Structure 1
Amino acid sequence: MDYEGLAKEILTDVGGKENINTAWHCATRLRFKLKDEAKAQTEKIENLDGVVTVVQSAGQYQVVIGNSVANVFEPLSKLAGLGNGGESATTTDEPVEKDSLINRFIGFISSVFTPFLGAMAGTGVLKGLLTLLSVTGVLKETSGAYQIWYAAADGFFYFLPVFLAITAARRLKVNEFVAIGLAVALLYPNLVAAMGGKTQLDFFGIPVVSATYSSSVITILLAIWLLSYIQPVFDKFFHESVRNIFTPMFSLALLMPITVLAIGPLGNGVGTVLSGAVEAIYNVAPLIAGAIMGALWEVFVIFGVHWTFVPVITNTIAVSGHDPLQPILTVAVIAQAGALLGVFLKTKNTKLKSLSGSATLSALLGITEPGIYGVTLKLKKPFIFAVIGGAIGGAIAAVGGAQATAMTLVSLLGVPTFIGPGFMSAVIGLGVGFVIPTVLTYFFGVPAEEQTTTDLNETVSVGEQLNAPIQGTILPLSAVKDPVFASEAMGKGLAIVPTNNDLVAPADATVAAVYPSKHAIGLVTDAGAETLLHIGIDTVQLDGQHFEQFVEQGQKVKAGDKLVTFDRAAIAAAGYDTTVMMIVTNTPNYTISETPETEARNAWVLNLKAF
């Protein structure tokens, strides 16, 4: 391959160096910030020998090359005068992406709630179970056991501002302990008593509006956001010898009165408006509201905008003590489980039956992504039937006044939190939402080709076998949220939603490519398969943060050797998809078959038979 010649052609076809603001590369793509993308000759670039395809996304003009991208970028950077001949400082320093306000908001909400969402959901389930035990007479509310368990269930929600302070401080890169200090000050018993007393509290004559900050969301998030502007000012003002003491002291001294005098009333006011708006919508048009949310919830999940509802739900419970959204959203989740069950009952394809069966159980517990991307969205009709079932069931739950008394997972586990007014409408809505997609999918949703038997014991012509590079749930590449990987433009392979943090070699191989961003590894196996292991979607933007690399280019590795360790939770909290892709980039040399299993363990997942 003439990399220099290819670089010259790409440079010419993107409009020349005068049309380039910045350029860099990740594991597989040349990424340009062009002054005018209209000047780029996309069709001509896509037809160049050595170019896989072109993707225009997130304000970037991306030319997909594959594992040899660094070889193309080096001469391109020299020709365009981008820096020192493609050295690492030039090739991988990606400019900060100025994302849209909506995307930044979703990323922020996701990052502050994700770390403790499981714990909060667990305490919500416990609270629902205690309600069930109380209603059935098994436990009295005055009993010691009930009060101890209720403290465990309600304590998390009461001190929610503290947990939000921690995660928001991490996201906004401010002192966590100052943030915690501010949160606990708002919940300090003496202050709570003074603000709730008959005599109005004041700050040097300025009246303090009485408010309750336990379980609140908006106030602490606004306060930590303001801290992210105040702290740098004090850091610059104070000498480093006293900065560690004076910056926290003055930050708290300034921010606490601002919070109780202005931010708190503003946050509580916004919270009251949001809660009132939610209540008003469901009081005025519950049928329409329930149908819309029941139908579209899983669509929101696909596009990642479902996070915007988390603070709304949490705030509504804090203000009014109940939430009408969760029963409806649970119907939408259970509808996906029904569609998956319909596929499981109908298909005779062993691999699809195994995937849909395990995905049904996951969906009932609130995890729908494996089922959506691996089954219902792929087959199309089951997803549509789930939307229909969610709309009808959601409307029934809303009209009947179903509501949740605690924040928890939208799953069957959360049903005990629905006990109270409208409980039977929630049960009926869940039943209808489950049965409709199950029946429709069984009779009309599974294509004829998926109704034929695929024998797991069928003889496979064994060639080179690549083991799973990580443990997790196996998905087809078509389910990946990246058009280049999903279209198999770079080669065939598979995706794995990881359940651990260690990426290992799938076979005995030589490390062909490593990247300072550490999010991808290129291997050439001893049998000649060129393999790309790519961790996450767009994780090159993390610039190596949350990744630790254990190999170097040219190093020999054995199957199972650790290549990279990464922090799944931190990457997800930063708003990135952590799905791992394994791509055979010299696919034309092989007939490739996938394992029939749905879980990636210490076994082969791709079988490569050379032509």
Structure 2
Amino acid sequence: MKYTELTQQIIHHVGGEKNVISLVHCATRLRFKLRDINKANAEELKKIPGIITVVESGGQFQVVIGNHVAEVFDTIMQTAQFTQHPEDHNEGETSPKTNWLNRFIDIISGIFTPILGIMAGSGVLKGLLALCVAFHLLDMTSGTYRILNATADGFFYFLPIFLAYTAAKKFDANPFLTMAVAAALVYPSIQEKVNAITVATLTQQPLPATETFIFIPISFMSYAYSVIPVIFSSWLIAILQRFFNRIFHSSFRNIVTPMCCLVIVVPLTFMLIGPVTLFLSDLLSQGYQWLYQMNPIIAGIIVGGGWQILVIFGLHWSFIPVMINNLNPHMLGKDLMIPMLVPTVAGQIGAALAVAIKSKDKIQRNIGFSSVFTGIFGITEPAVYGVNLPNRRPFVIGCIAGAIGAAIVGFYGTAVYSMGLASIFTIAQTIPPTGFDMTIWGLILGIIVALIIGFIGTLIFFKPKATESQCQSELSSQKSLTPVPATISKTIQLSSPMQGNVVALTAVNDMTFASELMGKGVAIIPTRGEVVAPADAKIISLFKTKHAIGLLTENNIEILIHIGIDTVKLDGQYFTAHVEPDQQVKRGQKLISFDLEAIKQAGFEVSTPIIITNTDDFIDIIPTDATLVELGDPLLTVTQ
């Protein structure tokens, strides 16, 4: 229960328990489905220690936690009480983002997320078994191999039953009812019939007699390892279950409803849903194979370069069924996409490692080094959200490195033969049944190249951002450039460099400014993205991030205009400077323009402190009494 305080804060900032429709988790994220997304406060959540970032995608409100997400999830489920409302059964109607893509991704992630861990674990075990066979450590005819192979392959063989359970949870159906349908699909006598047809086809013998269901011919197919048929049948079960529960009396619906659902859905699946969905699955596999064979190098560049972008928006879930479908022995029996994803992980790891080494920020260094470790095991969110994406350039370099590495993997035609996360363990999963070949070395080469390019590219092109304290220290070092004689008392009026609402400096959400350690002044919440000179002056400092500018007036008044709070992190994005250091400017001359709305949408406060940094050189500094100022209006009166 060590995460109790964290979970309480999370629940509070997602709008409380009553705002939560459902909650699941994947390898690093809590995935909330909320009744009202507007009640959630993403910016406050991002500030909480223990939370990497927050993503709104696929109709879900995703809180990225990291490797300990399972413990946080368990704590939430033990302490929170989520209530179901009747309207929650209407998928997506309570969310403002209910387009078909969001709903599709929400459904797919909801079905596959609960089994992703066991799926990855079973896939890795299959890869390790292949490694043992390749090194002659195990004989495929031995009892040890048979038991371990059954342990690893059993999950995939009976995958329809596992998917029936998670699909029922997603569609709000009776999970045991959907599992009964899935069990019928993989029933031994059905599989025996499929095997007999397969053997007859391969040996060119007469096919077994066609069987019928109430005079309707049945096309027997293997549903072991299948994905799509059971999802459609579970969806149909959910619809029929609600229909029959409405029309049958409560005294016998618990018996009659399951019977009616099974009698309708199981035959319908064998005769229509199964054949149609397996045919579509086959077309999907053939289409994917056709695109790959056209040019595997270009396919690698596209997949490797774009995968982490899909991960950011949660769109990668839409490819999970495709990968599993490819691995079905009755389809391709292997997948060519998963190996391409490993270099994308390596590229982000290399970039994060370079940032950690080069960064001067202690917190970012710690996050960088720890994210490298988690990335080795296929978890890239800490590296992407915590290190590379906030700095932008390392993320782009990591994507380029991943594209190059994936192109190499595509060139060698590397494939995996079991499902799992793209990680260091994927190497074992690429061992073909025939033993070691160049496809394995192609993957290793792609990983190494992506890692090196991501690391060296980031070392060369990434420049660590200055922290806010460094900015303030640089400004402070520029104080007292010219001694000011105080022999004659006079007042100087500085005009407003911005248009907006005037607030007291003490109200600014930054203790350095609010405590007036930097000097006295005032703050403006701008309504227009433009800064002009408050007096005739000389530009004495202009930060490369363009978020702050320092001026020295003809009366030796040193002025700091700091646009927004913590906007140094934007690294100059949304800011445009119209002057240069040491340039003389006139009152009202444009200094900086900025995209006000974009800065707000990026999650930054736009309160702009306007400070006299050499306050001690003057008798008094008096702000205006006005609450709203236009460009050029009186703002500060300095008594000299």
TM-score band, normalised by shorter chain = 0.5 to 0.7
1:320, distance to aligned residue in structure 2 (A):
1.3
Distance in 1, matches of 2:256 and 2:443, equals: 54
Distance in 2, matches of 1:24 and 1:189, equals: 47
Given candidates 427, 431, 447, the residue that maps to 2:464 is 447
Q: 1:23 to 1:253 in 2, by over 3 A?
A: closer
Q: What's the CA shift string for 1:323-365, capped at 9, x where partnerless?
A: 0000001111111111111112223432221110001111111
Partner of 1:107 in structure 2?
Answer: 106
Distance in 2, matches of 1:146 and 1:137, equals: 12
8 Å Cα contact 1:343-1:356 kept in structure 2: yes
8 Å Cα contact 2:37-2:95 kept in structure 1: no
**Root-mean-square deviation over aligned CA pairs:** 3.2
Distance in 2, matches of 1:210 and 1:113, equals: 27
8 Å Cα contact 1:195-1:201 kept in structure 2: no
Q: TM-score, normalised by structure 1?
A: 0.59
Q: What's the CA shift string for 1:435-456, capped at 9, x where partnerless?
A: 1011111222232647x99xxx
8 Å Cα contact 1:344-1:352 kept in structure 2: yes
Q: Which runs of 5+ in 1 are unaligned?
A: 1-21, 30-56, 61-88, 454-488, 494-582, 589-611
Partner of 1:557 in structure 2?
Answer: none
Q: What's the CA shift string for 1:92-134, capped at 9, x where partnerless?
A: xx97236001100000000000001001000000000000000
Distance in 1, matches of 2:298 and 2:38, equals: 48
Q: 1:24 to 1:116 in 2, by over 3 A?
A: closer
Partner of 2:177 in structure 1?
Answer: 178
Distance in 2, matches of 1:24 and 1:298, equals: 25
- Name which one, 1 or 2, has greater alpha-carbon Rg: 2
Distance in 1, matches of 2:110 and 2:147, equals: 31
2:396 is the counterpart of 1:378: no
1:277, distance to aligned residue in structure 2 (A):
1.2
Partner of 1:247 in structure 2?
Answer: 257
Partner of 1:96 in structure 2?
Answer: 94
Distance in 2, matches of 1:143 and 1:490, equals: 72
Distance in 2, matches of 1:192 and 1:207, equals: 17
Given candidates 440, 447, 453, the residue that maps to 1:436 is 453
Q: How do residues 510-529 of structure 1 correspond to structure 2 at under 5 angstroms?
A: none
Q: How do residues 183-202 of structure 1 correspond to structure 2 at under 5 angstroms?
A: 183-197=182-196, 198-202=208-212
Partner of 2:305 in structure 1?
Answer: 295
Q: 1:106 to 1:28 in 2, by over 3 A?
A: closer
Q: 1:367 to 1:23 in 2, by over 3 A?
A: closer
Given candidates 296, 307, 312, the residue that maps to 1:286 is 296
Distance in 2, matches of 1:263 and 1:183, equals: 13
2:352 is the counterpart of 1:340: yes
Partner of 2:121 in structure 1?
Answer: 122
2:298 is the counterpart of 1:256: no
Partner of 2:48 in structure 1?
Answer: none
Partner of 2:162 in structure 1?
Answer: 163
Kindly provide the amino acid, as one letter, of the partner of residue 94 in structure 2. V
Partner of 2:232 in structure 1?
Answer: 222
Q: TM-score, normalised by structure 2?
A: 0.56
1:387, distance to aligned residue in structure 2 (A):
0.9
Q: How do residues 3-18 of structure 1 correspond to structure 2 at under 5 angstroms?
A: none
Partner of 1:427 in structure 2?
Answer: 444
8 Å Cα contact 1:342-1:438 kept in structure 2: yes
8 Å Cα contact 1:127-1:406 kept in structure 2: yes
Distance in 1, matches of 2:244 and 2:509, equals: 52
Distance in 1, matches of 2:37 and 2:319, equals: 36
Q: 1:23 to 1:140 in 2, by over 3 A?
A: closer
Distance in 2, matches of 1:340 and 1:26, equals: 34
Q: 1:24 to 1:192 in 2, by over 3 A?
A: closer
8 Å Cα contact 1:113-1:167 kept in structure 2: yes
Q: What is the aligned length?
A: 383
Distance in 2, matches of 1:323 and 1:257, equals: 31
Partner of 1:13 in structure 2?
Answer: none
Kindly provide the amino acid, as one letter, of the partner of residue 329 in structure 1. L
8 Å Cα contact 2:348-2:398 kept in structure 1: yes
Q: How do residues 144-155 of structure 1 correspond to structure 2 at under 5 angstroms?
A: 144-155=143-154
1:297, distance to aligned residue in structure 2 (A):
0.4
Partner of 1:16 in structure 2?
Answer: none
Runs of 4+ in 1 over 6 A off after TM superposition: 22-25, 489-493
Distance in 2, matches of 1:398 and 1:24, equals: 41
Q: 1:292 to 1:185 in 2, by over 3 A?
A: same
Distance in 2, matches of 1:144 and 1:416, equals: 22
1:490, distance to aligned residue in structure 2 (A):
12
Distance in 1, matches of 2:188 and 2:101, equals: 37
Q: What's the CA shift string for 1:559-610, capped at 9, x where partnerless?
A: xxxxxxxxxxxxxxxxxxxxxxxx9x9x99xxxxxxxxxxxxxxxxxxxxxx
Given candidates 24, 30, 39, the residue that maps to 1:26 is 39
8 Å Cα contact 1:200-1:210 kept in structure 2: no
Distance in 2, matches of 1:27 and 1:288, equals: 41
Kindly provide the amino acid, as one letter, of the partner of residue 224 in structure 1. S
Distance in 2, matches of 1:380 and 1:352, equals: 14
More RCO (CA 8 Å, sep 6+):
1
Q: 1:414 to 1:349 in 2, by over 3 A?
A: same
Q: How do residues 462-541 of structure 1 correspond to structure 2 at under 5 angstroms?
A: none
Q: Which runs of 5+ in 2 are unaligned?
A: 1-34, 43-55, 60-84, 86-91, 197-207, 471-506, 512-602, 609-640
Distance in 2, matches of 1:378 and 1:26, equals: 25
Give the secondary-structure state (helix, strand or coil) at the position aligned to 1:406.
Answer: coil
Q: 1:447 to 1:227 in 2, by over 3 A?
A: same
Distance in 2, matches of 1:194 and 1:449, equals: 69
8 Å Cα contact 1:196-1:210 kept in structure 2: no
Q: 1:120 to 1:444 in 2, by over 3 A?
A: same
1:25, distance to aligned residue in structure 2 (A):
7.1
8 Å Cα contact 2:339-2:409 kept in structure 1: yes
